[in-house]
Amino acid sequence: MFLGVTALSNGPLKATILEWQTEGRVAIAAEHKGSASLGLDVSTLQGTAIIDCVNEGEGTIYLSLPESWKRREVRNARLEDVTLVETGLGFTRWTLPVGATLSMTVPEAPRHVTLHHPSPGLLKVRLSRIDLEDDAVTRDTILVQGKEVEIW
């Protein structure tokens, strides 16, 4: 298994990830049991962002986020309950308990985000995007049941 991961990280997948980064594209993933609800509150200013990931459902959500995104703060949960695992593939997998908010500092605000969703249950994504330079606010609700979807 390790050899396969190493081969992928140095082959076509790595090229694809680098291409996405240059186009302002980012991939994230959400895993859960049953149905789940995830809030994403995105505030951007001068090319950077703060993204709050909120577990609004009734079960734990596991979020895989780019390792360049750094934890800013945790709300409504103990710090030790919002655990992380380094995957070695450019992502960090976070455990997000019910009701918890994981606030991330993002050095380069993504122009496009693709959500990978390997779980069989329905995922409701509540999305709020706030552009602090243009004073523009966009809100959306996206229902995800399947492999992946571009959420913006």
Residue at 115: amino acid letter? L
Crossing angle for the helix pair 2-10 and 12-22, nearest 10 degrees? 50
Pick the CATH number of 25-150 from 1.10.357.10, 2.40.10.10, 2.40.360.20, 2.60.40.1180: 2.60.40.1180
Window from 6-15, 32-41, 45-54, 96-105 with minimum mean pLDDT: 6-15
- Cα separation, 74 vs 131, whole angstroms: 23
CA 139 to chain centre: 17
- Cα separation, 1 vs 5, whole angstroms: 6
Mean pLDDT along residues 91-108: 97
Cross-strand partners of 2? none
For residue 4, the model assigns a pLDDT of 35
Quick check: helix, strand or coil at residue 21?
Answer: helix
As a whole number of Å, the CA-based R_g of the chain is 15
Reported as a pLDDT band with limits 50, 70 and 90, residue 46 is very high
7 vs 150, residue with greater confidence? 150
Q: Does position 148 have pLDDT exceeding 80, yes or no?
A: yes
- Please tell me whether the overall predicted TM-score, pTM, comes out greater than 0.85 for this model: no
Q: Does position 37 have pLDDT exceeding 70, yes or no?
A: yes
What are 50-77's pLDDT values in tens digits?
A: 999 999 999 999 999 999 999 999 999 9
Quick check: helix, strand or coil at residue 12?
Answer: helix
Reported as a pLDDT band with limits 50, 70 and 90, residue 24 is confident
Q: Does position 26 have pLDDT exceeding 80, yes or no?
A: yes
Q: Does position 6 have pLDDT exceeding 90, yes or no?
A: no
The bridge status of strand 112-116 relative to strand 123-131 is: unpaired
The bridge status of strand 123-131 relative to strand 91-96 is: unpaired
Q: Where are the domains of the chain?
A: 25-150
